[in-house]
Amino acid sequence: MASMTDSREGGASPRSWRQWREVEGARGRG
């Protein structure tokens, strides 16, 4: 997952990474 966030954020940031993962989890894609 780090690679996906890396492409999106341009550098896996702790905040964005956790938030993005929470959003994905809420959608049912944990």
Q: pLDDT digit string (tens) for 1-30?
A: 555 555 555 565 667 778 878 887 777 764
Output the CA–CA distances (angstroms, integers) from residue 25 to 7, 11, in the order listed. Answer: 19, 21
The confidence score (pLDDT) of residue 12 equals 57
The confidence score (pLDDT) of residue 17 equals 75
Asked if residue 28 lies in contact with residue 16, where contact means CB atoms within 8 angstroms, the answer is: no
Token couple for 8:
């999106």
The confidence score (pLDDT) of residue 24 equals 78
1-30 in b/e burial notation, b at 16+ Cβ within 10 A? eeeebeeeeeebeeeebeebeeeeeeeeee
Report d(CA 19, CA 16) in Å as an integer. 5
